[in-house]
Structure 1
Amino acid sequence: MRAAAGGDRDALRNVFDRTSGKLMAICLRILNDRDEAEDVLQEVYVSVWTRAASFDPARASPVTWLATIARNRAIDRLRSRRSRGLAAPVEEALELADDRPDAFAAAAEREDGERIHHCLGTLEPRTQKLIRIAFFEGLSHSELATRLGEPLGTVKSWIRRGLQSLKKCLGG
């Protein structure tokens, strides 16, 4: 990451070679559209090229930082698609033919993923489910409330308390 931050194209190519499969899996899982996932992945690496200097290894591993960027970009694209009325319900999504581990399984293999998985397991099942849906499907608080038939304020409170518990468990 340091070399990429210094403008080293070979270093960025190395980062791409090591992480593109995992980041593509994240984008595919969220978007369920290979073309859009490839577009988002390209945006991620353009962003990395321009923002590599902002990477702080004390806050996250490179893969975690990159996965967060990919996840956020994919969710932004998904929300944009929904606002244009182009998104199909998640229930209609076809399973993706991809023999690589999915994003959650890949992250779970790393230390950060193991810590997150452990901390998610400490949450009550309802809160754990809400956070997983929000993370993997990119639903807003109001969309979660509608899906679950719960008041918006209640859903926000559950998620806020769950995220506070996760932060505490992760040592932040």
Structure 2
Amino acid sequence: MTDVSSEFDHAAVLAKCANGEHDALHQLYVHEGARILGVVIRIVKDRGMAEDIVHDACLNIWQRADSFDPNKGSARAWIFSVARHLALNAIRYRDREITYDINDPTDVTHDEHFQHAFVVEEAFDWQTGQQMDSCLEELEPERRNCVLHAYVDGLSHGEIAAHTGAPLGTVKAWIKRSLQRLRECMA
């Protein structure tokens, strides 16, 4: 019996995705969707969440297909690593969530001091967010985009370099200096 996945050209499909050919993403989903879903379900142990992650993975694969480097590994491994990383991130975020019962009068969240602290924290977050926006605006656009790609989009320095066309060392220096300027501005 031959392995069906070995007959499918994952690298060619990624190249087509990078060129904006929508049918390529559909081909990839038809061919690998069930296997990707299986891997993600094993990680997150929740089918609904896994389906959302597979959807996000397909979007990431579509948007970042041009960052695939065949010298660093197989296209199939790259595709599955995108889904796996999203699943692992989902677990990390899920484990950080704090749940409370709004009907439980003994829950600490009903305490007046907690409610006041929560309002103060929200105001602080809003002010900090406003200040961060202002500080980001002070950065040169290229450097601001590098910081946002790294800390909002979660791209690696190498991916940012590939995306911007700037040398890797330059991207690293921009991010380091920009973070220093942001720290100074936020102080």
Band the TM-score falls in, shorter-chain normalisation: 0.3 to 0.5
What's the TM-score once normalised by structure 2's chain length? 0.44
What's the TM-score once normalised by structure 1's chain length? 0.48
